[in-house]
A and B are shown apart, each in its own frame.
Chain A
Amino acid sequence: QENLVQSGAEVKKPGSSVKVSCKASGGTSPNYSFHWVRQVPGQGFEWIGGVIPILTTTSYAQKFQDRVTITADVSTKTSHMDLSRLTSEDTAIYYCARGSAYQEILTAFRYWGQGTLVTVSS
């Protein structure tokens, strides 16, 4: 069983950036991907991107490709998502999740963090 703990809620101004972290514990392996997914409260999910820590392989959704960076640190078992040029449409709950397949980016998400609310408001 793996536990993912995310950093706390953020309030940001339009045009700024936000960095959200996700720390894994409990039997975690660097061979399994971290992913970032967001959910506007009351709505569905949107995949942002993912990384395989041991390979440093990343993949991003086309929509976010020019303003998101996802990293993973093998030694600290932590992933970070950095999203820039924020607008009000980026207000959402951001979840990190771990992939279920060995060294695969395209995978189901077995474990999820508790979510981080990012609010973008002037």
Chain B
Amino acid sequence: EIVMTQSPATLSVSPGERVTLSCRASQSVNSDLAWYQQKPGQAPRLLIYGASTRASGIPARFSGSGSGTDFTLTISSLQSEDFAVYYCHHYNKWPHFGGGTKVEIK
């Protein structure tokens, strides 16, 4: 099983700041990596798939990068609606999710 590890667990950020979230795989998942946003009481929303392709309707301030074992989700300028928990998910062989990074207001 390929295990995904996200860091940090919590990030305290001010609106307008640039945010970088990390996701590391225990072995290569190529580019079979997605990022999701989840707000309290809601289902997740797909942001990025194929490590770097934005899903339909996702603002350009969200970008993804990386391949193999190390991946990054960047939010160029954090908006108030972006405070949420972010999860990475690999779908190379048996799918597995990271533990999440909570982005909270500083």
A residues with a Cβ closer than 8 A to B are 35, 37, 44-47, 61-62, 95, 100, 106-115
Contacts and interface: CB of A to CB of B under 8 A. Distances in A.
A46 B91 CA distance: 12
A63 B71 CA distance: 26
Contacts of A114: 43
Interface of B: 1, 32, 34, 36, 43-46, 49-50, 55, 87, 89, 91-100
Nearest to B98: A44
Given A44-B97, A109-B34, A95 B43 contact: yes
Nearest to B48: A108
A108 B91 contact: yes
B87 A62 contact: no
Contacts of A106: 32, 91-93, 95
B22 to A, nearest CB: 16
Contacts of B43: 95, 112-115
B79 to A, nearest CB: 22
Given A44-B97, A47-B97, A110 B46 contact: yes
A20 to B, nearest CB: 14
Contacts, number: 53
A43 B96 CA distance: 14
A62 B95 CA distance: 11
A37 B36 CA distance: 13
Contacts of B55: 100, 108, 110
B89 A108 contact: yes
A41 to B, nearest CB: 10
Nearest to B4: A44
Contact of B44 (A61, A62, A107, A112): A112
Given A45-B44, A62-B1, A110-B49, 15 more contacts: A37-B97, A44-B97, A45-B87, A47-B94, A47-B95, A62-B94, A95-B43, A100-B46, A106-B92, A107-B91, A108-B49, A109-B34, A109-B36, A109-B44, A112-B44
